[in-house]
Chains A and B, each alone.
Chain A
């Protein structure tokens, strides 16, 4: 569904005129729809994308938020020079193995996350220019044009309608009605989250001894 269709559906459910809205104008509805879009994206982490990180000589930590924007969760990282996947580690593991791991240079083999967006690569690059490709879950761009559509499958689009109805009714003080829409939204969010996390399980067959 396009943004214009989502907006019309919200206004229809709230018994609002779509041609000459009085209480819930187009901008208000769009704001609520986009808020729902961000909420469901944050909860389900459906938006997976990739980007390049250019290594800088002698730099150990990189601020993912500054480099890539709204990163939610790193998924996997590949060293473009060696074509090898980096393994995740912790600073405790590195301390247990290497007394001065923070000064070792070389081709990055492992990554360590400090906080939620400071990422370190070990060994760190001794020269600038090489790149890593990182796949990660992120926040999508908001919808602005009438023809914009949410990036997840169409069967979940009505969940945004339910969120917008909830958000707008709360502002009108219609708390009971709003919470009804909120509960419907939560069911839709859970369904999308389960789909995102389990979408490869349908085809996988069990193997004795497998996890």
Chain B
């Protein structure tokens, strides 16, 4: 699964009628492709990955990947509960010093991409800490010429984004009507991905007694017929 930036560049220039890059240079197109790549991944969360982090005794903070949107953190295959630092300050003021097997993690206040384990691990460990996340930008290879994580049928949406940007910018070749059209096609692609992810969740079948909340509010209470009436 990968997509070639060169192929996408050729497709874009073919549709712009500029196969020789007389108006839009390859560097410009590459810039738009990279921008679209970031936008596609971060807006949809379609790329999921997990990373095992080596833990050092008495070290509480660990860096996760820069472009990670953390979904779940486990210790020894057991989920760690995420907490705000403010919650721990009031309930466990010594949370940064207490050591033991982690039960919680904090993901605020220690740096953008840094998680803090609570309690602080007291032994070295190379397998127990696993961070699951969606990527804000997929991996690239071949000096950026290959988008390693995006299947070809989703990489098509990058083409629409690039056409939108290329036709929008001031100068020769600008066509705002067509730019708006391709912007709408790109947004339709984003909506399609999001709808697909939501559709999978919607196929869940519920049954009486099943675990898990359906995410709805409880029903409003039925009040007595004379509720609110003045007592005489």
Q: What is the interface of chain A, defined by CB distance below 8 A to chain B?
A: 38-39, 42-43, 61, 63, 65-66, 70, 72-74, 87-93, 95-97, 99-100, 102-103, 113-118, 139, 167, 170-173, 175, 179, 182
Contacts and interface: CB of A to CB of B under 8 A. Distances in A.
Given A91-B72, A173-B17, A182-B181, A115 B151 contact: no
Contact of B17 (A38, A61, A90, A171): A171
B199 interface: yes
9 closest A-B pairs by CB: A115-B48, A114-B48, A116-B46, A93-B212, A65-B1, A102-B77, A95-B79, A100-B77, A118-B48
B217 interface: no
A70 B78 contact: no
A113 B181 CA distance: 32
B20 to A, nearest CB: 14
B201 A170 contact: no
B200 A171 contact: no
Contacts of A172: 17
A167 B178 CA distance: 12
Nearest to A104: B77
19 contacts: A39-B156, A61-B50, A90-B201, A95-B79, A96-B211, A100-B76, A100-B77, A113-B200, A115-B46, A115-B48, A115-B49, A116-B46, A117-B1, A167-B15, A171-B15, A171-B17, A173-B17, A179-B177, A179-B181
B203 A170 contact: no
Contacts of B178: 170, 175
B222 interface: no
Nearest to A87: B205
A144 to B, nearest CB: 16
A116 B193 contact: yes
A73 B77 contact: no
B204 A87 contact: yes
Contacts, number: 89
A96 B212 contact: yes
Interface size class of B (residues with CB under 8 A): 35 or more
Interface of B: 1, 14-15, 17, 44-50, 71-72, 74, 76-79, 132, 134, 151-153, 156, 175, 177-178, 181, 192-193, 196-197, 199-201, 203-205, 211-212
Contacts of B14: 171
Contact of B203 (A88, A115, A182): A88
B159 to A, nearest CB: 10
A65 to B, nearest CB: 4
Nearest to A92: B212
Contacts of A116: 44, 46-48, 193, 196-197
Given A38-B156, A70-B152, A87-B204, A103 B77 contact: yes
B151 A117 contact: yes
A87 B211 CA distance: 13
Given A139-B153, A171-B17, 18 more contacts: A38-B153, A38-B156, A70-B153, A72-B153, A73-B199, A73-B200, A88-B201, A88-B203, A89-B204, A96-B212, A102-B77, A103-B77, A113-B200, A115-B45, A115-B47, A118-B48, A167-B15, A172-B17
Interface centre among B14, B72, B152, B200 (most CB of A within 10 A): B200
A87 B210 CA distance: 12
Contacts of B17: 171-173
Contact of B200 (A65, A74, A97): A74
B61 to A, nearest CB: 24
A90 B47 CA distance: 16
A65 B155 CA distance: 13
B183 to A, nearest CB: 14
A182 B193 CA distance: 21
A39 B182 CA distance: 13
Contacts of B203: 88
A74 B78 CA distance: 27
Nearest to B150: A65
A110 to B, nearest CB: 10
